[in-house]
Structure 1
Amino acid sequence: MAFLGQQGGDDSDDGMDEFMEKFKTEKYKNAFNESNWEEEFDKVPMFMKSAPEDIDPATYPELACIQSIIHDTHSTPEEKAQNLKDEGNQFFKEKKYKKAIVSYTAGLKLKCSDADLNTILYTNRAAAHFHLGNMRSALNDSVSAKKLKPDHLKALLRGAQCCLELRNYGDVLQWCDEGLRAHPTDKKLQDLRTTANKKKREAERDARKAKLKEKQQRGEKDALLAAIKERGVKLVRTTKPPKQGSDSEDEDAEEQVTAGMADMGLDGLVSQEATGQRVFLDDNGALNWPVLFLYPEHCQTDFISAFCETSTFIDHLAVMFGEELPPWDTDRKYRPQNLQLFFEEFGSDQLHQVNMSAPLYSVLQHSRYTVKDGTPCFIVLVSGSAYSKQFLSGKKIYGLK
């Protein structure tokens, strides 16, 4: 037997020598070369930098083999779950968090009897959800992990971190306190608790400020509506806000509202101009209104954001049409002394001429005047001009106020 073994060994040696001699004269056909060695190495699981999106058995036979082992139907649930956990961990390292979640979920669906393994699957899936910004899902997985193992440090940390991101600072403190009872010296839990406690105090302070501001604004609103009601100014809102559950957002409604009514609110006093200006009470108790001047002859407008009720119209017109006239007034005829001012009665085409030396409040208190959408509006014409005559033709004109 010894002789035969020795002879077999000699044959093997001779064969190897012959095989090795071939490399001196013949190049190995399947060898890597300088142009493709990196690509070929990347097909070998041991050397892969990342797993491919689709594992084609023809292209990646070794990887397909490993995957079949992971999902081997003859393995126990614990073995399959362990393999799926490892697969998920690899995806996680490659920052493919969605794929990691799929692997961890598949492992959990097996419902294996290893509580520690299931706890890790939950905490790992929580970590993947956390990196994707799915804080609620991450928190739910942390809760599930904690139920299986109440003192599991990673579950406690992740739960606290999720609550911090969700700004549930009281819950952060609760998670940290539970964690510190089991791990009293853990630095991360201590830091999380300190951060949450600080943010909780800040949030409470901001809530107090917001409540105080709301109270102040409510007081200012009540004072404003009371001042408008006291002056007898009538308000109208031409668009009604859509009711909750209504499909229509632009229901037309001409809703006249008496100043000071509870359902009016400041939304009816906001200017429809792009500036969104609103009437306000100044320190002297005077109302300041956003006022719109219309120049129909030239399709132009002027907007005054704060027209004090005690100021006269001529005060503003003298500034607007003083030394510098607007570029659209090519005939240079819009001089204060040449102008006429009118307001249109709400719900009709009747015009009322305004005394330009009168203060704003005297016009707003006129029995026929209504402030539309929070913005008093006036028409400016050049007295005696051809356009003015044509514009006023056929309209009922009331005298100066």
Structure 2
Amino acid sequence: MASPAQHEGDDDEDYMDQFLDKFAHQKYKGGFSEDKWEEEFDQVPMFMKKAPDEIDPLKNPELACLQSIIFDDDRPLEEQAKTYKCEGNEYFKQRDYKKAVISYTEGLKKKCSDSELNVVLYTNRAAAQFYLGNRQSALKDVLAARKLKPSHLKAIIRGALCHVEMKNFAEALAWCDEGLALEPKETQLLELRQKADKLKRLQERDVRKAQMKEKKERSHKEALIKAIQNRGIKLSAPLQPCRQSSGDEEEEEEESLSGGLEQLSLGSCGHQVLLDEQGHLSWPVLFLYPEYGQTDLIAAFHEETRFVDHLAVMFGEERPSWDADRKYSPQDLQLFFEDEEREELHHVTPTHTLRQVLTRDRCFIKDGTPAFIILVKGSSFEREFLAERKVHGAE
């Protein structure tokens, strides 16, 4: 006679045989499909490679159930915070630093009484923020970690890293020294300190070079304005005189200098008056040809050069394309500058230098660029053009 246990075993085998026999005639509907089995397998919570961003209890009931167990609010705060720390660590390993920050933040929100755990949460969140490029937020977290535990070495290392990335090299050195006082042989701190010291020296060198360059440029600009003033050359608005000052007056002097230089800006022609080492000025000069609506720019017209010398080059063998009739010969040209305030034209003697003309009583420079009108002497256009204007002779 068979024992009860034997009958029970036989019943189990019979049940399994009946269960398997059923699928000989009826296809199992809960299995994986042949072509999408890998995707479906990845939906099983136990085998998921990556959790979904949002969990819908209707679509993922098993996962929602597991989550409710893991993040049960009835558990002690320390356990909940630790769970979030572990979750954050997993995200960190996957280099999903945004989610890591969220997990560590949730852990800190629990405000558990385990200060060591809170230190780790702050330090780990600082690391995630650092890799996201949020240096200031990372530094804030390591400061919070060190407030709870001043000697926490990882917080010190990450704080030093933040300061290096933010180019606060003096602060980085101070953090490194604090850490090395605790662990004199800490390799990462030793390397960081060496790097911060080198970059600090380079930064100080660059600052010195920038200051020297600024001082040189300022001195040159002051000399340029003084040279213009000494010649009696007049701009459309008067240059402010350079003067020595100290204290609060330095700001007024800087504004005065800036105002004078603004009148000598590049303007529309893209060039600026220059002062050479011999103390000579070279101006960008515009020649205007109203008969054809054309212009010429001489980028650097030396003040001691005569007008006729430039005209000889511009209208020599090679003429501009617009002078098809070759009317513009140097000996046949008349030059004028305009006094816009009085609406007058003033003759310019071609054999005079630029400096001689710019120092004339009614000659004003507009936008840092002297301009001169050129007409063909005796032409019908010249007669019509001058008939409408008051003209003064050359000096």
Q: Same fold (TM over 0.5)?
A: yes
Please state how far the C-alpha of 1:196 moved relative to its aligned partner.
0.4
- Which position in structure 2 is the counterpart of 1:269? 264
CA, structure 1 residues 187+213, in 2 after alignment: closer, same or farther (shift >3 Å)? same
Whether 1:257 aligns to 2:239 is: yes
Describe how 1:264-343 pairs up with structure 2 within 5 A: 264-265=257-258, 266-273=261-268, 275=270, 277-343=271-337
Deviations 1:211-252 (A, max 9, x none): 12222222212222221111111123xxxxxxxxxxxxxxxx
Q: 1-side partners of 2:325 and 2:62: how far apart?
A: 89
Deviations 1:246-304 (CA, angstroms, capped at 9, x unpaired): xxxxxxxxx443565751432321220352x2222212221111222222333332222
SS, match of residue 283 in structure 1: coil
Give the 3 Å change call, closer, same or farther, for CA 330–154 of structure 1 in structure 2.
farther
Change (3 A) 1:49 1:298: farther
Specify whether residues 369 and 159 from structure 1 end up closer, same or farther in structure 2 by C-alpha distance, changes over 3 A only: same
Query: Residue deviations 1:103-137, cap 9 Å, x none?
Result: 22222122111112211221222122212211111
Q: Is the 8 A contact 2:224 2:275 kept in 1?
A: yes
- Give the letter aligned to residue 40 of structure 1: E
Q: Which moved more, 1:350-359 or 1:261-270?
A: 261-270
Shift of 1:74: 1.2
Q: 2:386 aligns with which of 383, 392, 395?
A: 392
Q: Distance in 1 between matches of 2:34 and 2:378?
A: 95
Name whichever of 294-303 and 190-199 sits farther off.
294-303
Give the deviation of 1:21 after TM superposition. 4.1
> Secondary structure of 1:257's partner?
coil
Amino acid at match of 2:387: S
Post-superposition Cα deviations, 1:302-321, rounded to whole Å, max 9, x if no partner, equal 22221110011122222222
> What's the secondary structure of 2:143's corresponding residue?
helix
Q: Distance in 1 between matches of 2:47 and 2:323?
A: 80
Say whether the 8 Å CA contact 2:303–2:353 is kept in structure 1. Answer: yes
Alignment partner of 2:239: what SS? Answer: strand
| Stretch of structure 1 that moved more, 183-192 or 329-338 | 329-338
What is aligned with 2:52? Answer: 52
Aligned to 2:196: 196
Provide, for residues 332-364 of structure 1, a one-character-per-residue CA deviation record: whole Å limited to 9, x for no partner: 323322322211114232111211211010111
Distance in 2 (alpha carbons) for counterparts of 1:307 and 1:49: 74
Q: Distance in 1 between matches of 2:139 and 2:64?
A: 34
The answer to whether the 8 A contact 1:235-1:374 is kept is: yes
Structure 1 equivalent of residue 42 of structure 2: 42
Tell me: CA distance 1:343–1:39, structure 2 relative to 1, closer, same or farther (3 Å).
Answer: same
Q: How many Å apart are 1:325 and its aligned residue?
A: 1.8
Query: Matched residues in 2 for 1:131 and 1:391: separation?
Result: 71
* 1:62 equivalent in structure 2: 62
The residue that corresponds to 1:142 in the other structure is 142
C-alpha contact (below 8 Å) 2:229/2:239 kept by paired residues? no
Contact 1:125/1:141, CA 8 A, preserved across alignment? yes
Q: Is the 8 A contact 2:288 2:371 kept in 1?
A: yes
Residue number in structure 2 paired with 1:111: 111
Report the AA paired with residue 203 of structure 1. Answer: Q
CA 101–389 in structure 1, closer or farther in 2 if over 3 Å, else same: farther
- 1:240 paired residue number: none
Aligned to 1:99: 99
- Do 2:222 and 2:257's aligned partners in 1 also have CA atoms closer than 8 Å? no
Q: Which whole-Å CA distance do the structure 2 matches of 1:170 and 1:108 have between them?
A: 31
Q: Distance in 1 between matches of 2:320 and 2:62?
A: 82
Amino acid at match of 1:257: L
Query: SS in structure 2 opposite 1:184?
Result: coil
Where structure 1 has 5 or more consecutive residues not aligned to the other structure, the ranges are: 237-254
What SS does the corresponding residue of 2:346 show, helix, strand or coil?
strand
Runs of 5+ consecutive residues of structure 2 not aligned to the other structure: 244-252
Aligned to 1:124: 124
1:379 aligned partner: 373
Tell me how far apart the structure 1 counterparts of residues 47 and 292 of structure 2 sit (CA, whole Å): 78
1:292–1:303 CA contact under 8 A, matched in 2: yes
Q: 1:390 to 1:103 in 2, by over 3 A?
A: farther
Q: After TM superposition, which residue ranges in structure 1, 4 or more long, deviate above 6 angstroms?
A: none
- Range moving further from structure 2, 3-12 or 189-198: 3-12
Residue 182 of structure 2 is aligned to residue 182 of structure 1: yes
Q: In the comparison of the two structures, how many residue pairs are matched?
A: 381
- Give the TM-score of the pair, scaled to structure 1: 0.88
Q: Distance in 2 between matches of 1:73 and 1:66?
A: 13
Q: Which amino acid aligns with 1:318?
A: A
Question: Partner of 2:220 in structure 1?
Answer: 220
Question: For residues 291 and 46 of structure 1, do their structure 2 counterparts lie closer, same or farther at Cα, with a shift above 3 Å needed?
Answer: farther
Q: Is the 8 A contact 2:172 2:196 kept in 1?
A: yes
Q: Which amino acid aligns with 1:354?
A: V
Residue equivalent to 1:351: 345
Provide the C-alpha distance between the structure 2 equivalents of 1:11 and 1:384, rounded to a whole number of angstroms.
130
Whole-Å separation in 1 of the counterparts to 2:295 and 2:267: 14
